[in-house]
Amino acid sequence: MDLVDLITEKRFIGQEFLTWLWYKSDERGGTVLLPEMGEDITLVFEKHLLLEFGEGDSHEKIICTGLQAELKEARTGLQMGKKLEQARIHMIRGEYEWHMTIKASLMEFRSVKVPKTMDGVDEGDTQEAVEGRLLDRLGLLETVYKTFDELLGQFIRIRISDQWPAEAAKLRTWIHHSDR
Amino acid sequence: MGLLSSAATFVRYRVVGDIAPDFWDTAAEQISRCVFKDIDDTYDEFSVGWVSVLNMFDTEFTSASFVAGDHICLTMRIDERKVSPKVLKKFCLKEEERIKKERQIPKVSRGQRLEIKENMEMLLMKRAAPVPATYDLAWNLAENTVLFFSTNQKAQSQLEDFFKETFGLLLSLEIPYTTAERLLSTSEGHALANISPAVLV
């Protein structure tokens, strides 16, 4: 299958992953475990979610804005079978914080704000200073996608295993009890 | 939205194929063959080439080397002359009016109209200033990953072509399915290929 077909036929994987991630984050009050590292990180879904439904002419999008996990309209959208396509996420890992928007179907990282790690004195214009700045920034951006790779790996191993029916049942319960 | 902007937007590519063992020795030569060439003083419609991530006028990488640790950081600059369809239409109509008046004819033929359009397009294209666009990329050679700082599909397609032209290597866009495939073992990959959308309502 070529990439164009994969993008169309397998877009549900990214959307299911993002929905699952929202559930995992909500389940522990914004904390998600990275099992390989044995590390807890904070992942809060905030302010802006985009859901979609249908294809072609009947394709619909709804944008929900609100504060943090409330976003009741978005959760109602999930109850109606809409898919989570985009979310604004606040991530805290170790002593650093990131803000980003994830577009699920293509795994695009948008408007990624990285933590400021260097002091003003480090910001010279020499080649070494520029290289240092570039490496610092690249390291912070790579942390973002490596964190999401680890989470995606965790999701996909459950998704293809016999644990999935039980996990999907928990996800359905969470979606339907969102108005508690 | 680029590598050094306060809010970066990016997608990921995998580099397909093996990188030559002497890659670092030849990288500078490969890049310098494909640096950006200015078209401000020519009539060329399109130019694409590499520039420094710090300065779109720096094609010698004096403001910042393209090497940062295990990474190659470059900006793909594209300058393109464009004529707005509305502007083209206006000038064609103006020329048709001029010809009708000059030759005392009620209307111009289809053939004349096509010729006018072709000439006007060429004239306006020559007059138009090239519009620049820049897109950053960071290639992590240790991990065979390229971060490309644009979600624009046309720019992505231009990058795929130009990267191949420069380095002779193919890029493959990472989407959740291909990332998952890479994270799983071969036997798990078969299970992945067979999953269908879950019903969560």
Indicate the DSSP class of residue A171: H
Cα separation, B29 vs B168, whole angstroms: 13
* Total of domains in chain B: 2
Q: Are residues B74 and B27 in the same domain?
A: yes
Is residue B169's pLDDT more than 80?
Answer: yes
CA B100 to chain A, closest CA, distance in angstroms equals: 46
Facing residue for B198 by CB, picked from A125, A145, A168: A168
- Bridge partners for A102 per DSSP: A87, A109
Indicate the DSSP class of residue B22: T
CB-CB under 8 Å, A157 with B184: yes
* Average pLDDT of the residues in B168-178: 95
Its domain, for residue B121, covers 85-127
Complex ipTM: 0.91
For the CA atoms of A108, B148, A128, B6, what is the dihedral angle to 10 degrees?
A: -40
Put simply, the chain A residues between 148 and 167 with a CB less than 8 A from any chain B CB are: 149, 152-153, 156-157, 159-161, 164
Cα separation, A120 vs A129, whole angstroms: 11
DSSP string, B44-98: -SEEEEEE-SS-TT-SS-SSS-SEETTEEEEEEEEEE----HHHHHHHHHHHHHH
Give me the pLDDT at residue B43, please.
Answer: 87
Q: What are the tokens at B57?
A: 């006028």
Q: Are residues B108 and B177 in the same domain?
A: no
A62 in reach of chain B (CB within 8 A): no
In a domain, B195, yes or no: no
In a domain, B200, yes or no: no
Give me the pLDDT at residue A120, please.
Answer: 53
DSSP string, A84-142: EEEEEEEEEETTEEEEEEEETTTTEEEEEEPPP-S-GGG--SSHHHHHHHHHHHHHHHH
Could you tell me the mean pLDDT of each successive run of 10 residues in chain A, 180 residues long? 87 95 92 89 89 79 71 82 92 95 96 82 74 92 95 96 95 79
In a domain, B192, yes or no: no
Q: Are residues B65 and B164 in the same domain?
A: yes
In a domain, B113, yes or no: yes
Is residue B120's pLDDT more than 90?
Answer: yes
Give me the pLDDT at residue B111, please.
Answer: 94
The candidate with the shortest Cα–Cα distance to A164, out of A175, A153, A155, A177, is: A155
Higher pLDDT, residue B17 or B153 = B153
Nearest CA in chain B to A78: B201
Strand, helix or coil at A51?
strand
Give me the pLDDT at residue A117, please.
Answer: 81
B24 in reach of chain A (CB within 8 A): no
Q: Are residues B65 and B89 in the same domain?
A: no
Give me the pLDDT at residue A119, please.
Answer: 60
For B106, residues 6+ apart whose C-beta sits below 8 A from its C-beta are B100
CB-CB under 8 Å, B64 with A111: no
Q: Are residues B16 and B75 in the same domain?
A: yes
* Average pLDDT of the residues in B4-16: 94
* Average pLDDT of the residues in B6-34: 92
CB-CB under 8 Å, B188 with A157: yes
Facing residue for B178 by CB, picked from A6, A134, A153: A6
- Bridge partners for B13 per DSSP: B146, B173
CB-CB under 8 Å, A106 with B175: yes
Q: Are residues B89 and B119 in the same domain?
A: yes
> Around Cβ B146, how many Cβ atoms within 10 Å?
25
> Around Cβ B118, how many Cβ atoms within 10 Å?
11
In a domain, B162, yes or no: yes
Facing residue for A17 by CB, picked from B4, B68, B176: B176
**Are B155 and B133 in contact, with CB atoms under 8 Å apart?**
yes
Residue spans per domain, chain A? 3-176
Q: Are residues B139 and B116 in the same domain?
A: no
Q: Are residues B115 and B148 in the same domain?
A: no
Q: pTM of the prediction?
A: 0.90
**Are B58 and B51 in contact, with CB atoms under 8 Å apart?**
yes
Facing residue for A107 by CB, picked from B4, B174, B188: B174
For strands A83-93 and A96-103, give the pairing.
Answer: antiparallel
